[in-house]
């Protein structure tokens, strides 16, 4: 039975059994994901120390890490095979320029809200900005994130150029964007709240044991959990991309005339 047949048989939906599938993927290549977390954590620490707007280069570098995760995860989901790091690097090199474009757009998008909010009076921001601007803006950001959640995976897996990757992601997510928004919110909170508690517990324990290093430990633990969250979301985005392809294929079969 093909994956599409299974999708039709099981009333397939995007993001079905997501926790179980993520756990299986993480157990499949633990050293790779751990290395990705360490790389992101170290780079974020450097960016925070050296740059005024560290989120821009952070997102830019994250695009390439996300691309590597996308290629490994997709090959496991679609073909049930394990690719070597050399194969991953070769694919990233092949799609280097489109990934640069995606990274630049993502980095710019991460900086613009912070730049704009610097010019808003803080007292006004506390009430009016939150009600009139922040909530609609948050909804808009979530919709944009859902619309373009597959951009990096499309670029790396389907070997599309910069603009075609955005168009393809829009096409795949057209009818399920709100569904993807809900998935992202649910799984962000499901990871974020426990990790927040663990991060603070870890920092408190180390602070008691090594009070002179408490500030350093607090910053390091924050960066570490942030890196774990990023890789976690990269994996989720690829699983959703794979499901979107399955959904599109199953619809194409359903709409085709019976022989």
The full 3-state SS of 139-187, as one line of letters, equals HHHHHHHHHCCCHHHHHHHCCCCHHHHHHHHHHHHCCCHHHHHHHHHHH
Computed over every residue of the chain, the mean pLDDT equals: 81
Written as six digits, the tokens of 257 are 């005339």
In a domain, 256, yes or no: no
Q: Report how far residue 248's alpha carbon sits from residue 175's, in angstroms, rounded to the nearest whole number.
A: 10
The residues, any chain, with a CB within 8 Å of residue 43's CB and separated by 6 or more, are 57, 58, 61
In a domain, 67, yes or no: yes
In a domain, 15, yes or no: yes
pLDDT of residue 259: 46
Alpha-carbon torsion 81, 87, 89, 91, what sign? Answer: negative
> pLDDT tens-digit profile of 103-148?
888 877 777 666 655 555 454 555 555 556 666 777 787 888 899 9
* pTM of structure: 0.82
In a domain, 54, yes or no: yes
Q: Mean pLDDT over residues 16-36, rounded?
A: 89
- Domain housing 77: 3-251
Closest CA to 191 of 22, 4, 1: 22
Vertex 22, ends 33 and 82: CA angle to 5°?
Answer: 60
Start-end of H helices in the chain: 3-9, 18-28, 30-50, 55-79, 85-94, 96-117, 122-124, 135-147, 151-157, 162-173, 177-209, 214-255
Band (41; pLDDT cuts 50, 70, 90)? confident
Q: Report how far residue 246's alpha carbon sits from residue 78's, in angstroms, rounded to the nearest whole number.
A: 10
Q: Report how far residue 151's alpha carbon sits from residue 174's, in angstroms, rounded to the nearest whole number.
A: 13
Contact criterion met (CB below 8 Å) for 60 and 107: yes
- Other Cβ atoms closer than 10 A to 177: 17
In a domain, 259, yes or no: no
In a domain, 22, yes or no: yes
Contact criterion met (CB below 8 Å) for 45 and 223: yes
Most confident of 17-26, 195-204, 232-241: 232-241
In a domain, 257, yes or no: no
Regarding predicted confidence, which is higher, 49 or 5?
49
pLDDT of residue 134: 66
> pLDDT tens-digit profile of 202-239?
777 767 777 766 667 677 777 888 888 899 999 999 99
In a domain, 198, yes or no: yes
Total domains present in the chain: 1
């Amino acid at each position: 039975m093909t994956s599409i047949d299974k999708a039709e048989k099981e009333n397939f939906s995007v993001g079905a059994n997501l926790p179980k599938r993520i756990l299986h993927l993480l157990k499949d290549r633990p050293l790779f994901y751990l290395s990705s977390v360490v790389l992101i954590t170290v780079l974020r620490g450097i960016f925070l120390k050296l740059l005024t707007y560290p989120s821009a280069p952070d997102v830019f570098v994250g695009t390439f890490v996300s691309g590597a995760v996308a290629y490994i995860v997709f090959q496991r989901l679609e073909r049930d095979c394990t690719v070597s790091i050399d194969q991953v690097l070769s694919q990233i090199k092949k799609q280097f320029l489109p990934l640069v474009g995606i990274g630049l757009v993502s980095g710019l998008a991460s900086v613009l809200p912070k730049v704009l909010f610097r010019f808003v009076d803080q007292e006004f921001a506390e009430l009016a900005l939150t009600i009139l601007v922040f909530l609609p803006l948050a909804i808009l950001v979530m919709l944009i994130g859902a619309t373009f959640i597959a951009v990096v995976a499309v670029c790396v897996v389907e070997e599309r150029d910069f603009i075609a990757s955005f168009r393809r992601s829009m096409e795949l997510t057209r009818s399920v964007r709100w569904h993807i928004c809900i998935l992202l919110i649910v799984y962000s909170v499901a990871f974020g709240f426990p990790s927040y508690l663990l991060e603070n517990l870890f920092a408190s324990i180390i602070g008691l044991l090594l009070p002179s290093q408490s500030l350093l430990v607090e910053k390091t633990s924050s960066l570490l959990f942030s890196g774990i969250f990023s890789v976690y979301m990269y994996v989720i985005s690829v699983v959703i991309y794979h499901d979107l392809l399955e959904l599109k294929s199953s619809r194409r079969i359903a709409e085709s005339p019976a022989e």
